[in-house]
Amino acid sequence: MEFYFSAYSSPLLFGFVQAWIYALLLWVRGRREERLSDVLLGWVLVGMAFNIWEYMLGFGGINLLWNQLEFFPRTLGYLFPVLCYFYLKSQVNADFRIHRRDLWHAVPFLIYCTYHITVFAMGPAFVHNWKIKVVGPYHLETVEFVIGLVIDVYYLILALRLYRQYRAWIKTQFSETETISLRWFRNLLIGLTAMSLFSLIMTVVSQALGLDYWQNWWDELAQVALIYYVSINGYAQAQPGRRLNFGTNDAVMPPFASLTSVAVAEPISSEQLAVGEAAGVRATVAPVMPDELLDLRDKLITCMTTDKPYLDPDLSLADLARRMHTNPVVLSQVINTGVGKNFNDFVNEYRVEEFKQQVRNPDNAHLSFLGLALDCGFNSKATFNRAFKKFTGQSPKEFAQA
């Protein structure tokens, strides 16, 4: 068999090869660094490669799939959205592993493969008659398409829900969330969704206008562009510097879960929390709190003001809990209920207040805003600007000029 290179086949071939090269690179790195997310992303790329290989071979003049392999499963199909979802789970939880209880996700794919392989094994003549007498009259191809669409939407919803939960969780656990926000995966979901919608539109247009094989290839070309984006950005994305474990301890209920935080209209006065007010950090009062939590809250404010742990750009809830000799769940309850903030806002407000003090210091006049921000515990310009605007209502430049 000789592959015919043309304006139609060559771009698809390049995308197909690109997907396999990066899949191999990801599998090697995943095995070397024991990172399941790389292995799964490699399989996602393989799934994308199989999505375009029918058109690639067809335009290349190779009719193997339509002659010798007619009706044999040709793509990962129903398994592809599962792989994308599991990839996200492995990214947000370094301890995630695929267990037997997860195998139900593969049931639709296994049923599909069993059906197609069974028919294929009966021979070419049987396949031909089956398509004429069963597939066509009962619209089985349409049924398979609709089932695939439902599965895609189902796992898209699961992935979006998990992603939103994860984004909310990191704000309660880490003072710096920029590098672990997984915006890359959000972009991947957007790309896959846009690709699915475009393919659906092309299918409808093709059926309505009777487009031939050569006219109905634009969605295949778009998938090549997506392969390049996913392979390059997926492989090059910065991995979290710490092990993320969302989905394991996040469901643990704090020992004082029944407490309700009642926010008052005014911030805590200097008489109530003199040290905290000296730092310029506003908090809300939770009238109903056990004495041990009230004591821990006061110790926390003192620690933040005197020891300044917020200067560590990688400070996490677990780090601060170890410093306070307490449990992260208890400390989270103290911050949420006793101060009225999540951990991320609690720490970043101290950093903003530190910046406000340092920028007024004449000795720092030679330093840039970004330099001062980094010294105050921020680790990126974007995070600093966002936090400063949130807590002051001004940009750093507006504040300095006031």
Indicate whether 42 pLDDT > 60.
Answer: yes
Residue 326 phi, psi (nearest 5):
-145, 180
Which helix (H) or strand (E) segment holds residue 375: the answer is: helix 369-375
Confidence of residue 337 (pLDDT cuts 50, 70, 90): confident
Say how many C-beta atoms besides its own lie within 10 A of residue 224's C-beta: 21
- Predicted confidence at residue 240, as pLDDT, reads 74
Dihedral of CA atoms 360, 364, 368, 373 in degrees, nearest 10, equals -70
Lowest mean pLDDT among 37-41, 117-121, 273-277, 305-309: 273-277
The C-alpha angle with vertex 268 and arms to 262 and 270, in degrees rounded to 5, equals: 160
Distances (CA, A) of 199 to 43, 145, 336: 21, 12, 46
Distance CA 81, CA 45 (A): 12
For domain 274-401, the CATH architecture is Orthogonal Bundle (1.10)
Mean pLDDT of 164-174: 94
Identify which of 81-85, 233-237, 240-244 has the greatest average pLDDT. 81-85
Please compute Rg for the chain using Cα positions.
28
Which amino acid belongs to residue 113?
C
Mean pLDDT of 342-355: 95
DSSP 252: P
Mean pLDDT of 372-385: 92
134: which 2 tokens? 């069963």
Q: What is the mean pLDDT of the chain?
A: 87
Nearest to residue 6, comparing CAs of 74, 47, 49, 62? 62
Angle between helices 36-59 and 80-92 (to 10 degrees): 150
- Predicted confidence at residue 272, as pLDDT, reads 39
Mark residue 367 as left, alpha or beta (left: phi above 0; alpha: psi -120 to 50; beta: remaining): beta
Mean pLDDT of 22-28: 98
- Which residue bears the tokens 């209880």? 101
What DSSP letter does each residue of 308-323 carry, written as one string?
-GGGSTT-BHHHHHHH
Lowest mean pLDDT among 174-188, 243-257, 320-334: 243-257
- Predicted confidence at residue 244, as pLDDT, reads 87
**Contact, 244 vs 181, CB < 8 A?**
no
Lowest mean pLDDT among 36-50, 77-91, 229-243: 229-243
Distance CA 380, CA 78 (A): 40
199 in helix, strand or coil? Answer: helix
**HSE toward the beta carbon, residue 270, CA cutoff 13 A:** 3
Using a 10 angstrom Cβ sphere, with 0-12 exposed, 13-18 middle and 19 or more buried, the burial of residue 291 is exposed
Q: What are the boundaries of each domain within the chain?
A: 9-236, 274-401
Q: Which residues contact 3 (CB under 8 A, 6 or more apart)?
A: 9, 13, 60, 61, 62
- Helices and strands (H and E) in the chain: how many: 16, 0
DSSP 254: P
